[in-house]
Chain A
């Protein structure tokens, strides 16, 4: 571990005039975020993940500029064509350009990932913060609930929910977000318990700040690191679940496309008569690369923002 802090012993080790002069200057402190940024840049994997992710986001955002076709533009004269110069990813059963559909599909997949993560953040952070801050019986009961929920097959409930109440995107966001908040609440609660006993909290309480203000203004900002890290790791989990549901026909509905839906179409296009391998391979690569990038980014952020969270 080579910490970028300038220690006194370091400086005093070679007492030259120049150094003495520098000792007199005020040393610019290395803030938490600056330090984290340095550590982040050192991790090659994390930076690679970040770059891939930015690239994917840009590609999906600028999809209309990148392909001459519309997302749902059928061309029955060119069905199931393999990758070529005009259709780099090939075409599907109704002659739609797969590259176009993959790019547009990425928009929905990423959107689901982000929104559902936001939902899980809201629930998980609130739950964990209240439990950790209140402590005692409240904490006990709230965490017992989390323990119990951990042992439930949540995806089955989501399937029931989506199948019963219709396949709206909003419902999908909410349901997937509601499934993923348990770990977040545990992390926030653990950190909260640690912080609560510290002197600055006693000081603020003595000054008469309300609970709400203490939690929102003074405690949660201290937890930003772990929260960001875990949120980054939640995004790929949620995206995978969306893909899973869409694959079963319970998620995103045509004519919209998402990577899971494209994979489903690809899987059903494989028959003994024709194996249109590109239909499953390219959406699979797009999804895989994005999940890969997000996982790496999360791991790198964890090392940068909160080394203590390692191996949790």
Chain B
């Protein structure tokens, strides 16, 4: 276990380095720069701006400087919001995205897991068909279609909820549902398939033979192994929630990191864009590691190597 963790952690170092180098290369080989805006800046001003942000140094010096900063947890100044650092912007916008993402993930798990178990227990009966058809529908409709439709129904027709903004609880309901719907549908399918495989195994028969109530057999013994496909899916699910939140933030006018990221990419705010990519990569890599550990903890047959 310890050796496994160490090996995996060591493997992430070159990966993060490669991510840094790649995004650095991307942004420096792209045409245009952060300071060519619609308003033309006098050459002296641009010169001094470039000097201030060290853009006039050779590439490798810039890269080393940036990396040195990153190692100290400093993602540099934002090129566009010139009075603020990337760290400040992330500290302000990331909690918003994090809340939204956590709510979306929670909704997808809370709906998806019971729906999948239910479908497996009542397989090939009307309830199962109903759940599976709904989940197929959920999988096929992109969140940028669901979101606006929810707004039309709940905000402009029924008038129950606000159409945008962030902060109040009633502003979080629709975005979280929009973000979680697709994942809920997918998790329901995974959970059902996982449960169906487990239900016929010997240890389940043993549990039943012991006279345990069906609730315990399914809820405790079955769920523990049946949920493994869902656990494996957690990392990709988080990745897709990070990406999905970009769209959801745009639809519902939420000041999260996704919005900042797209704007920074379009405005060539290099440090801001790189900071976001680095943050999200680190989150995903950590999560993948956690998922592997969790997997071994849930299923005694799995050994970490």
Interface residues of A, Cβ cutoff 8 Å to B: 144, 148, 150-153, 155-157, 159-161, 163-166, 240, 243-244, 247-248, 250, 260, 263-264, 266-267, 270, 272, 275, 277, 280-281, 283-284, 287-289, 291-292, 295, 311
Contact = CB atoms under 8 A, between A and B. Distances in A.
A213 B106 CA distance: 51
16 contacts: A151-B235, A156-B243, A157-B26, A159-B262, A160-B273, A163-B266, A163-B268, A165-B31, A243-B142, A243-B144, A260-B144, A267-B147, A280-B145, A292-B137, A295-B136, A295-B139
B141 A288 contact: yes
Given A150-B288, A151-B235, A267 B251 contact: yes
A311 B250 CA distance: 34
Contact of B152 (A152, A160, A163, A270): A270
A102 B52 CA distance: 49
A53 to B, nearest CB: 13
B295 interface: no
B147 A295 contact: no
Given A152-B15, A244-B243, A263-B144, 12 more contacts: A152-B19, A152-B281, A161-B26, A164-B31, A247-B247, A247-B250, A267-B251, A272-B156, A275-B152, A284-B145, A287-B142, A288-B140
B157 A164 contact: no
B149 A284 contact: yes
A266 B149 CA distance: 10
A266 B147 CA distance: 11
B122 to A, nearest CB: 20
B247 A248 contact: yes
Contacts of A266: 148
A199 B273 CA distance: 53
B223 interface: no
A270 B148 contact: yes
Contacts of B27: 160, 164
Contacts of B156: 270, 272, 275
Main secondary structure of the interface of B (DSSP, over half): helix
Interface of B: 11, 15, 19, 22-23, 26-27, 30-32, 136-137, 139-142, 144-145, 147-149, 151-152, 156-157, 163, 193, 197, 235, 239, 242-243, 246-247, 250-251, 261-262, 265-266, 268, 273, 276-277, 280-281, 284-285, 287-288
Given A243-B144, A292-B136, A153 B239 contact: yes
A157 B277 contact: yes
Contact of B145 (A150, A152, A272, A288): A288
A263 B30 contact: no
A248 B157 CA distance: 26
B261 A159 contact: yes
Contacts of B266: 163
A159 B265 contact: yes
A153 B284 contact: yes
B11 A160 contact: no
Nearest to A290: B140
Contacts of A157: 22-23, 26, 277
Contact of A248 (B15, B163, B262, B285): B262
A151 B285 contact: yes
A160 B23 contact: yes
B148 A292 contact: no
Contacts of B144: 243-244, 247, 260, 263-264, 267
